[in-house]
Amino acid sequence: MIRWRVATLRALLAGVAMACATGGARRSAAEPCLPQSGGLRDHAGERSFFAAEVSRPAALRSGPQSPQKPSVPDSALVQFVVDTAGLPDARTLLFLKPSGDEPTREFAAYVQSVVASERFTPAVHHGAFLVRQFVQQPIVVR
């Protein structure tokens, strides 16, 4: 009897972990699967983690699709969130360190297209949970 309960409990927990790791349902079912501590609310209102808080950080899987470069050289450090599907969330894009006072419209549009075309492997928290992660990336146009 006890062996059956232990086996059933393990199967149930494995199913919950698998549902969370594969994306599971949004909000209602996936939220309880996330660890109870850590992470911050990003600009989209979702809970996101920093690279130091996860067991496997998000990693660039495929680079940008070479959008038209701006005519003027520029650079910036940008921050955005990679979601549990490995896609950058455009709502969270921030310019942390533009090279000048403010990026030009042309450069800002270039950065948005570069970030939107990138694909990542999602971050993993506690070895089983796919989570949203803040990513910082330098972008340089020469």
> Among all chains, which residue has been given the structure tokens 């990336």?
137
Other beta carbons within 10 angstroms of residue 34's beta carbon come to 18
Average pLDDT over residues 78-91: 95
Domain boundaries, the chain: 1-33, 35-141
| 122 close to 88: Cβ distance less than 8 angstroms | no
pLDDT grade for 34, boundaries at 50, 70 and 90: low
How large a percentage of the chain has pLDDT more than 70? Answer: 73
- Which pTM was predicted? 0.70
Q: How confident is the model at residue 45 (pLDDT cuts 50, 70, 90)?
A: confident
Say whether pLDDT at 127 is over 90: no
Other Cβ atoms less than 10 A from the Cβ of 61: the count is 11
The pair of three-digit structure tokens given for residue 56, joined into one six-digit string: 């496997």
56: β partners: 124
What is the four-CA torsion angle of 52, 56, 58, 63, rounded to 10 degrees?
Answer: 120
pLDDT at 25 over 50: no
pLDDT-derived band at 10, boundaries 50, 70, 90:
low
| CA-closest candidate to residue 83, choices 55, 116, 109 | 116
Which two tokens mark 96?
Answer: 């942390």
Which range, of 21-35, 62-76, 87-101, 114-128, averages the lowest pLDDT? Answer: 21-35
CATH number (3.30.360.30, 1.10.340.70, 3.30.2420.10, 3.10.20.600) of 35-141 reads: 3.30.2420.10
When pLDDT is averaged across residues 38-67 and rounded to a whole number, the result is 86
